[in-house]
Amino acid sequence: MLKFVKNHMESITGIEIYPLISLVIFFTFFVALFWWVFTARKDYISKVSNIPLDH
């Protein structure tokens, strides 16, 4: 089954760019998320973390 899919995908022209695009999108997302986590204000993090306990 995998051999059939691989042979079919290789016949599509220009398909080799899609794995590279998805890698760049995911890498950018996680770098942005990492940056946000380390630059977020501590009072905001404290406020948001106490939301489930307020009810």
> Is 19 part of a structural domain of the chain?
yes
> Is 23 part of a structural domain of the chain?
yes
Tokens of residue 43, six digits: 């009072």
Structural domain boundaries enclosing 49: 13-53
Over residues 28-39, the pLDDT tens digits come to 999 999 999 999
For the whole prediction, is pTM greater than 0.75?
no
User: Which positions ≥6 away from 24 have C-beta within 8 Å?
Assistant: none
> Is 42 part of a structural domain of the chain?
yes
> Is 20 part of a structural domain of the chain?
yes
Task: In whole angstroms, give the CA distance from residue 18 to residue 25.
Answer: 11
* pLDDT (0 to 100) of residue 1: 66
> Is 41 part of a structural domain of the chain?
yes
Computed over its alpha carbons, how large is the radius of gyration of the chain?
21
> Is 31 part of a structural domain of the chain?
yes
> Is 6 part of a structural domain of the chain?
no
**Spatial contact of 9 and 15, defined as CB atoms under 8 Å apart:** yes
How many domains does the structure of the chain reveal?
1
Over residues 1-44, the pLDDT tens digits come to 677 777 777 788 888 899 899 999 999 999 999 999 999 899 98
Predicted confidence band of residue 55 (pLDDT cuts 50, 70, 90) = low
